[in-house]
Amino acid sequence: MIKPIILSIFALIGISTKATAQFRFAQEVGIILGPIAFQSDYGERNDSETNVKNTGFGVGLVHFMNFSNLNNHETFFTEHFKVRSEVSLSQTNLEHFGEWVQGNPNKLGTKQLKAMTGKTTVAGLGAQLEFSPIPIHRFENNTGSFSPYMSLGFLISYYSAKVGSSLGPLGNPLTTYPKYLVPSDGRQYGFSNETGVVLSATAGLGVHYKLTTMSDLMLEGRFQSFSSDWVDGLNPNKKIFKENKAKDWQVWFNVGYIMYLEY
């Protein structure tokens, strides 16, 4: 499982080395952090309480390759694009919300759903291409200016999912809601305490604020879709339970502080 992460690290190093050899670029480093809304098989789809309460927190280190210092070779790419790499870590606690846990409190199924809890930890490594409609030089030369941007990219993530119940060990009819006792996707049940490596696609919208000559603030909202439905530890059999057809995804709202490095 660790092999894809190692290969990705060498790929990123290779990209950076090649870029250094062919271009002269400025570097920026920073930290980002903020809340995460995790959309999973916990709770009810399109339920506001699920969306608000199944949240976690993430933190990341970011690095930008900024090509705008190529004063004699300005192109549309160098004036509007940056290559951003990052390593991030997030953790989210998960519970069931919605109408299925608001029914008869004496019903066994209601008790089972209320008692089930989970936690997922995700460590990610990846890269994004960031586009700004405002020329980078214009933004960099005006302290107090704003530069909106959009980004697309990918991450390779290592996840650790934990599932449990206050009623006791999961895996028997007394503690486990029936849909999670059905085998799913090669697992014995529709839940799993496991670790793994997944790919994810990201898309973000944000804005940079020119704080000083050598530093920026940033505000960003980012969508991240995972290639697996086991990141949260739950994955009811999709052939039987159609309501759980979507894979896990999350939205990360973060703020950041970016420093320009001398070159």
| pLDDT tens readout for residues 97-141 | 887 788 788 899 999 999 999 999 999 999 999 999 999 989 988
The domain 33-260 is placed in CATH, from the list 3.40.50.920, 2.40.160.20, 3.40.190.10, 2.40.33.10, at 2.40.160.20
Domain ranges of the chain: 33-260
Report the alpha-carbon distance of residue 199 to residue 220 in Å, rounded. 21
Nearest to 255 by CA among 37, 28, 29, 60: 60
Smallest CA-to-CA distance from 91 within 178, 191, 162, 23 is with 162
Angstrom distances, CA of residue 245 to CA of 97, 100, 177 = 18, 18, 18
Beta carbons within 10 angstroms of residue 135's beta carbon: 16
Mean pLDDT, rounded, for 184-211? 96
Provide, rounded to the nearest whole percent, the portion of the chain with pLDDT above 90: 67
Q: Select the more confidently predicted residue: 49 or 240.
A: 240
Q: Which residue, among 97, 50, 83, has the nearest Cα to 250 in the 3D structure?
A: 50
